[in-house]
Amino acid sequence: MKYGWAGLAAALGMTAGMASAQDAVTLQLKWVTQGQFAGYYVALDNGYYEEEGLDVTIRPGGPDIAPVQVLMGGGADVMVDWMPSALAAREQGAPVVNIAQPVIRSGLMLVCWADAGIATPEDFRGHKIGTWFFGNEIPLLNWLSQLGIPTTGGEDGAEILRIGFNVDPLLQRQADCVTAMTYNEYWQVIDAGVTPEQIVVFRYEDYGVATLEDGLWVNEANLSDPAFVERMARFVRASMRGWEWALANPEAAAEMVLDHDETGAQTLEHQVRMVREMAALTEGSTGVLDEAAYQRTVDTLLGGGSDPVITRAPEGAFTHAVTDAATME
């Protein structure tokens, strides 16, 4: 994979020299410290942010942390969030704007027991499906709405279970299916001793309902400040260098992630695997939002049957100003 960000930074003469020394930037992650965000930790530890004149603080997320609320409350300058939850929040009054899209493919899937009799998405009827909330439930609810499957349970509907960020409800047979990511929960199922033959996997990408996930979002009000746009350009440029290095050096990147994991709950094997899986979701990315992919996401969210995620096409929900500035020679 080639972004060319390291060469660009050298060609630009490291614009940090023209900027205020060590401008502060706080990044709010969507979830806990893990390989899903390896590029940012690499950019921090390899000094890419420092070379851009940035003093970056990375705030991990968690089950009780909503990135949009942190951003709107002034607790972060930029957040990592999925586009469905960000666009839903924008329609509800939170003026968030996408400034870059490092991750260009969806890692979202449903993992179901093969013996539950679920062979196609239409078979979700009459079954219990566990999913995360805090905005993470939006893609699933949207898919079910498109299928015409109500979430009221019973034979004609699907019963939605609010679960933690683990696969215990599936393993304990409390749910027939659970939400999972290709780089995380799927492997928790496998590591628990379940064989691939015992489960059926439904990847959102395979069914035309995938939406953009980990993008970088800011408060729209800040974009009127040229200094903020320039600071975010340096942040994006350094971050993309971090992703380039992480995907070329997954073992070392995973070790960097672990150095920042204050919980001690992560393992090197799992983090290396996660960084490698992230390569499949970011390969070919330049950080620039693909407007066609954006439109597919919007169309998918608007097409949610009787209960769409958003009710009208967003206006002003993304800008190329930051990525344009990041690549300007």
Write the DSSP string, 160-223: EEE--SSSHHHHTTS-SEEEEETTTHHHHHHHTT--GGGEEEEEGGGGT-----SEEEEEGGGG
| Distances, alpha carbon 65 to alpha carbons 31, 32, 75, 98, in Å | 8, 10, 12, 20
Question: What per-residue confidence (pLDDT) applies to 287?
Answer: 96
Same domain, residue pair 51 and 77: yes
Question: What per-residue confidence (pLDDT) applies to 9?
Answer: 53
Residue 19: CATH number of its domain: 3.40.190.10
Question: What per-residue confidence (pLDDT) applies to 327?
Answer: 87
Q: Is the dihedral of CA 234, 237, 243, 245 positive or negative?
A: negative
Same domain, residue pair 100 and 115: no
Same domain, residue pair 310 and 217: yes
At which of 207, 232, 258 does a domain end?
A: 207
Same domain, residue pair 141 and 84: no
Same domain, residue pair 149 and 271: no
Same domain, residue pair 228 and 320: yes
Question: What per-residue confidence (pLDDT) applies to 136?
Answer: 78
Same domain, residue pair 285 and 223: yes
Question: What per-residue confidence (pLDDT) applies to 266?
Answer: 85
Hunting for tokens 């493919």 — which residue is that? 105
Alpha carbon distance 28, 73 (integer Å): 12
Same domain, residue pair 156 and 118: yes
Same domain, residue pair 300 and 247: yes
Same domain, residue pair 92 and 173: no
Same domain, residue pair 16 and 77: yes
Enclosing domain of residue 242:
5-105+212-326
Question: What per-residue confidence (pLDDT) applies to 5?
Answer: 53
Hunting for tokens 């620039």 — which residue is that? 288
Q: Are 25 and 206 in contact (CB under 8 A)?
A: no
Burial 9-40 (b: 16+ CB within 10 A, else e): beebebbbeebeeebebbbbbbbbbbbbbbbb
What is the length of the chain? 329
pLDDT tens for the chain, 329 residues: list them: 444 555 555 444 444 444 457 999 999 999 999 999 999 999 999 999 999 999 999 999 988 899 999 999 999 999 999 999 999 999 999 999 999 999 999 999 999 999 999 999 999 999 999 998 867 788 899 899 889 999 988 889 999 999 988 899 999 999 999 999 999 999 999 999 999 999 999 999 999 889 999 999 999 999 999 999 999 999 999 999 999 999 999 999 999 999 999 888 889 999 999 999 998 899 889 999 999 999 999 988 888 665 678 899 999 999 999 999 998 74
Tokens of 149: 């499957």
At which of 207, 233, 249 does a domain end?
A: 207
pTM of the model: 0.85
Question: How many domains does the chain fold into?
Answer: 2
Tokens of 272: 């290396």
At which of 207, 237, 269 does a domain end?
A: 207
Same domain, residue pair 186 and 198: yes
